[in-house]
Chain A
Amino acid sequence: MKYTEDDLKEELKTKQYEYGFYTDIESETFAKGLNEDVVRAISKKKNEPEWMTNWRLEAYRGWTKMKEPEWANVKYQKPNFQEIAYYSAPKKKPKLNSIDEVDPEMLATFEKLGISLAEQKRLANVAVDIVMDSVSVATTFKKTLAEKGIIFMPISEAIQEYPELVKKYMGSVVPTTDNFYAALNSAVFSDGSFCYIPKGVKCPMELSTYFRINEGGTGQFERTLVIADKGSYVSYLEGCTAPQRDENQLHAAVVELIALDDAEIKYSTVQNWFPGDANGKGGVFNFVTKRGLCETNAKISWTQVETGSAITWKYPSCILKGNNSVGEFYSIAVTNHFQQADTGTKMIHLGKNTKSTIISKGISAGKSQNSYRGLVQINSRAENARNFSQCDSLLMGNECGAHTFPYIEVKNNTAQIEHEATTSKIGEDQLFYCNQRGIDTEKAIALIVNGFSKEVLNKLPMEFAVEAQKLLEISLEGSVG
């Protein structure tokens, strides 16, 4: 019997989130709810110094005065912040030197995700700082990094071991009062990654963390701090998948990047959290604050591939403070079914001769809504600033929406700004051309989508590019007929 498109459609409709499973690891979870005592308890649990506890409390007090932002082009049932448990950590907290000591159950989990730690360690030359439910349980390649003087560790340990660095930089780019979710994160963050690259050091490998949300009913509040000292270079990867769950899960992370003079940070993300099922039930709420600060001649480059989450609210930004600094943003956001994404970037030009590039590709299918929201701001002292923005949207089906909200604010007459946006669908003639050459429709679409996203995919490190390409195909399967 002939396998028709309708069959495919049917098959895909019933196809469930492949990565939806639940690892049974005993974990210690706080009672639900949030108040000053909970903040204190988290801090105590982590054995934090007093300044840290106070910092958290200040953030918490700020948060209580804030309102949830409503300007984003997304609709959802607001989470009840008193219904969330703010701390959960695997009870067995092993400090491991080799992979063999890791809980075999957890290893199996990663095996299912296709990110076999063992394999990665052997083949990919990637140091993975695995974060499972907020507490790091395994760190690899630490020794290699230590030789170069690179610090790469869970932020909770960094608070103990390098309090001066943490104190100086944490909150310097994303202040605790920055926004509702950043304040919440500052008050209750349980763990995350800390990375410091010393002067003039070029990090020899891609640093990488995998975030997962595991324990039922817990929010995950990650905090990442990357500091690249003068003249250094680092490429940082972040990738995620989450188990399937009916109840909406909240994720409010904060990422701060600091690139000192002549330094370069490349930050790549592949995000594939549970997007909810075909009826829009469940899925992760992803409210993330990511921002980088560039000093003189520094460069920060954000690359993201967003395919998951029910709601995405994410604007990786660059503050181009130093002269000649460069900010880049490359993004692919794919939404299917009932997903909603409101994502983009902010490029704040403060220094002279600063440059920024924005390439954003939005692909919407099913009943999803995909928005690009960006700001390019040239301040009056930013002589000869240059920006190029391009946001393209691809629509599949007439039940989805694509929106662009670019804000351009220019206060200097030497600035050169270009912005262009297009919206289109996959052309019938393009498909016909492929069909003529013996490529079936489904493959042709994958091919065209790949071509559409190429500019961004090319910016990803090799290991990620393959994974990302696969993700694009999975998340768009069955969206065209």
Chain B
Amino acid sequence: MELKDKILSSYVAFENEMDMNSDIHEIRTKAFENFEKLGFPTKKLEAWKYTSLNPILKNDFCILPNKEVSVDLAEVRKYFISDIDSYKVIFIDGKYSSFLSETTHDTIDVCLMSAALTKPKYKVVIENYFNKIAKQDNLTSLNTAFAKEGAYIYIPKNVEVQKPIQIINLTTGAEIATMMQPRNLIVVEENAHVQIIERHQSLNSNAVLSNVVTEVFVGRNATVDYYKIQNDNLNASLVDNTYIEQKTNSEVSVHTFSFGGNITRNNLNFYQRGEHINSILKGITIIEEKQHVDHHTLVHHIEPNCESHQDYKGIYDERSTGVFNGKVIVEKEAQKTNAYQQNNNVLVSDKATVNAKPQLEIFADDVKCSHGCTIGQLDDDALFYMQQRGIPKKEGKALLMYAFANTVLDSVKIPEVKKRITKLIAQKLKVNIGFDL
């Protein structure tokens, strides 16, 4: 049976379990109809020109995983940032693990989407925010149709959250192939400040396709730091759809570290609804074998005096392919916009491929927008210089690549995350050095 048909028939079973009278039901039904109409994206769509999902859609995915599997903390601890105190919302095969998690309702809410969608206490927030900025495209609609579980984070006015929040989705591989639809909602009110770390990890080599949707609403003067760590195994694919709406004077930065996975597609969308907003999008991609990473960003400048900064670095080895498709739209009201976009790539092997499409659509005249895109190699002279001074070639190369990616790493604000990423980079570049020379 085709995957799409399987999904369509699973939906009936899924709906039976859900409350048919809730307001969400209508949203779900509409999204389902939308997916039914659109189906999975194909390469014929301009947005999916360079990424084909076909190879992974052949898997016989289990749509509604139902097995209860417990995992050992010792086994999965390494996937957490554990050397700092943090809130944790952890899911195993899409089910909340109260044993591993650490949630709170003390002034802030760090809890579950399933609770938020059903309990009356959260009704107002859900009504105001749920599915309000998510696009009505095929995969987001698919997620909305099956939206049930995920992280729900609500930070009220003037609260500075003292410790970071980790959202971790673990897949045990209890089924031969699993499809996940995590749905997160993050609301950060005026003047609040929060740091979030997100990770998806599968625990064995069975195929996984995670289709994640995260909506983030950021109030006036609020600050959000979001870190996405993607270092999954070769059979795990991820489609990450993140939608961020910002109000006046807010600042949001999203760092995406893509070090692994089969096909990774990051749809990162920023909507600036207010003035003096700053949006920061940064990423490091280091991949090998036949991995594929596609960064698809959108920054929509709607009002005047805002800024956006994009900086994506990619290092591609073996037969890997990288895609960068960055789009900046500046509406005609959005005068005095400063939008910068930078995408630099290094091809390490002669089989690796990079496709880049940095795109600007500008309707205002008093703006400063630029994009730069380079594809090249490491500087042989610099490498030679290091070898002269006794640094072996491999380590020298790694140092150069680390330096190349460092502009992104520099702006990571949690030292422990920085340490972890540095370690991962060393691991990816197969060297055993600390880089903090």
Binding site for B on A (CB under 8 A): 71, 380, 393, 395-425
Contact = CB atoms under 8 A, between A and B. Distances in A.
A414 B350 CA distance: 7
B362 A423 contact: yes
A412 B350 contact: yes
B371 interface: yes
Nearest to A386: B376
B360 A413 contact: no
Given A412-B350, A419-B358, A398 B375 contact: no
B375 A395 contact: no
Given A408-B355, A409-B355, A424-B367, A402 B362 contact: yes
Contacts of B358: 404, 406, 419, 421
Contact of B359 (A393, A405, A415): A405
Contact of B373 (A380, A396, A419): A419
Given A399-B332, A407-B355, A424-B367, A415 B362 contact: no
Given A401-B362, A413-B350, A413-B352, A408 B370 contact: no
Nearest to B334: A398
Interface string B319-353: 00000000000001001000000000101111111
Contacts of B353: 409-411
Given A399-B332, A403-B360, A423 B367 contact: yes
Contacts of A415: 347, 375-376
Q: Among the interface residues A408, A414, A416, A420, which one has the most CB atoms of the partner chain B within 10 A? A: A408
A415 B360 CA distance: 24
B56 interface: no
A398 B335 contact: yes
Contacts of B361: 401, 403
A417 B365 contact: no
Contacts of B371: 404, 419-421
A398 B304 CA distance: 12
A423 B360 contact: yes
Contact of A408 (B349, B367, B373): B373
A224 to B, nearest CB: 31
B134 to A, nearest CB: 25
Contacts of B363: 398-401
B372 interface: yes
Contact of A416 (B350, B365, B367, B377): B377
Contacts of A425: 365-367
Identify the 7 closest CB pairs spanning chains A and B, nearest first.
A413-B347, A395-B365, A417-B375, A419-B373, A408-B356, A423-B369, A425-B365
B374 interface: yes
A401 B373 CA distance: 22
B357 A405 contact: yes
A393 B362 contact: yes
A235 B103 CA distance: 73
Contacts of A412: 347, 350
A398 B364 contact: yes
22 contacts: A398-B363, A399-B363, A403-B359, A405-B357, A406-B356, A408-B357, A408-B373, A408-B375, A409-B353, A413-B350, A416-B374, A417-B375, A418-B372, A418-B374, A419-B372, A419-B373, A421-B370, A421-B372, A423-B360, A423-B367, A423-B370, A425-B365
B370 A422 contact: yes
Contact of B365 (A397, A411, A414): A397
Given A380-B350, A408-B355, A409-B355, A421 B368 contact: no
B222 interface: no
A368 to B, nearest CB: 11
Contacts of B352: 413
Contacts of B356: 406-408, 419
Contacts of A403: 359-362
A421 B328 CA distance: 12
A396 to B, nearest CB: 6
Contacts of A398: 332, 335, 363-366
B366 A408 contact: no
A402 B360 contact: yes
A400 B377 CA distance: 39
A388 B369 CA distance: 19
Contacts of A408: 354-357, 373, 375
Contacts of B376: 415-418
Nearest to B372: A420
A33 B263 CA distance: 51
Interface string B298-334: 0000000000000000000000000000000000100
B46 interface: yes
Nearest to B376: A416
Given A71-B46, A410-B353, A416-B374, 8 more contacts: A393-B360, A399-B363, A400-B365, A410-B354, A419-B373, A423-B360, A423-B369, A424-B368
A41 B92 CA distance: 74
A414 B378 CA distance: 10
A408 B352 CA distance: 14
Given A395-B365, A399-B332, A413 B349 contact: yes
A419 B348 CA distance: 20
B45 to A, nearest CB: 12
Nearest to A387: B375
A393 B357 CA distance: 17
A399 B46 CA distance: 26
Nearest to A424: B368
B357 A396 contact: no
Contacts of A409: 353-355
